[in-house]
Structure 1
Amino acid sequence: MRTLGNILWFIFGGMFGGLAWIFAGCIWCITIVGIPFGRQFFKMARLSFMPFGTSVIG
């Protein structure tokens, strides 16, 4: 069920959400002050691509 949920999520909007998080992470990583925020945005992108059965830790 987890795999089916991830596939459906990716097709119906997860791809666009994940790409938006990656874009925001790249923008934030341009400055040294924004690098910690950018790293968190990349974690959110991973969660946005496949949210079922995953967790974000520190």
Structure 2
Amino acid sequence: MRFLGNLIWILCGGLLSALGWWIVGLLWCCTVVGIPFGKQFFKIARVALLPFGAKAVRVHY
């Protein structure tokens, strides 16, 4: 079911969304100050590409 959901998601615009996040991540990584933000944008791009089956994990500090 995850495969079918992800396939429909990619065909309906998920690929464009992930590509956009990836490009923004690259732009932010051009500066030293932006690298932490860029790394997070790459994580968002992965979830934007394959949202079905991803798990949200709460981190306690």
Place the TM-score, normalised by the shorter chain, in its bin. over 0.9
Q: How many residues align?
A: 58
- 1:20-43 deviation per Cα after TM superposition (whole angstroms, max 9, x unaligned): 000000000000000000000000
Match of 1:47? 47
In structure 2, list runs of 5 or more residues that go unmatched. none
Structure number with larger C-alpha Rg? 2
The ranges of structure 1 where at least 4 consecutive aligned residues each deviate by more than 6 angstroms after the TM superposition are none
CA distance in 1: counterparts of 2:15 and 2:41, whole angstroms: 15
CA distance in 1: counterparts of 2:56 and 2:50, whole angstroms: 12
Match of 1:35? 35
In structure 1, list runs of 5 or more residues that go unmatched. none
SS in 2 for 1:32: coil
The TM-score, its normalising length taken from structure 2, stands at 0.88
SS in 2 for 1:42: helix
CA RMSD in angstroms, aligned pairs only: 1.4
